Amino acid sequence: MTTYGDEPFTFTEFAYFAEMARAATSAALARGYALVILPATSRHDVWSNVALDGTVVIDPSDQDPVVSELVRQGLPVVSDGRPAGSLPVTAWVDNDHEAAVLGILDHLADAGARRIGLLTGTTTDTYTHLSTTAYLRWCERVGQDPVYEAYPAHDPCAGAVAADRLLARPDRPDAVYGLFDPNGTDLLAAARRYGLRVPDDLLLVCCSESTVYANTEPPITTLSLKPRRIGTAVVQLLIDAIEGVESDHPVEQVIPTELIVRTSSQRRPPRTTVSPPRSPEKT
CATH of 97-224+260-265, one of 3.20.20.80, 1.10.3720.10, 3.40.50.620, 3.40.50.2300: 3.40.50.2300
* First-to-last C-alpha distance (Å) of the chain: 84
Distance between CA atoms of residues 119 and 152, nearest Å: 11
Contact 39, 6 (CB under 8 A): yes
Answer whether residue 77 shows pLDDT above 80: yes
CA angle at 20 for the pair 15 and 21, rounded to the nearest 5°: 100
* Per-residue confidence (pLDDT) for residue 4, from 0 to 100: 58
Mean pLDDT is highest, among 55-64, 88-97, 197-206, for: 197-206
| Interatomic CA distance for residues 213 and 131, integer angstroms | 21
Residue 156, Cβ density class (10 Å: 0-12 exposed, 13-18 middle, ≥19 buried): middle
pTM, 2 dp: 0.88
* Number of CB atoms found within 10 A of residue 193's CB: 11
- Pairwise pLDDT comparison (10 vs 214), residue with the higher score: 214
What are the extents of the domains in the chain?
11-95+227-255, 97-224+260-265
* Cα–Cα distance, 237 to 250 (Å, whole number): 9
Strand ranges across the sheet with 91-95: 55-58, 77-80, 91-95, 252-255
- For the cut 90, the answer to whether the pLDDT of residue 267 exceeds it is no
pLDDT, tens digit, 9 for 90 and up, residues 14-48: 899 899 999 999 999 999 999 988 776 656 667 77
Q: What is the mean pLDDT of the chain?
A: 88
Q: What average pLDDT does range 96-119 have in this prediction?
A: 97
Give the pLDDT score at 162: 98
Pairing between strand 221-224 and 258-260? Answer: antiparallel
Q: Is the peptide bond before 60 cis (omega within 30 degrees of 0)?
A: no
CATH code at 11-95+227-255: 3.40.50.2300
97-224+260-265 has the same fold as 11-95+227-255: yes
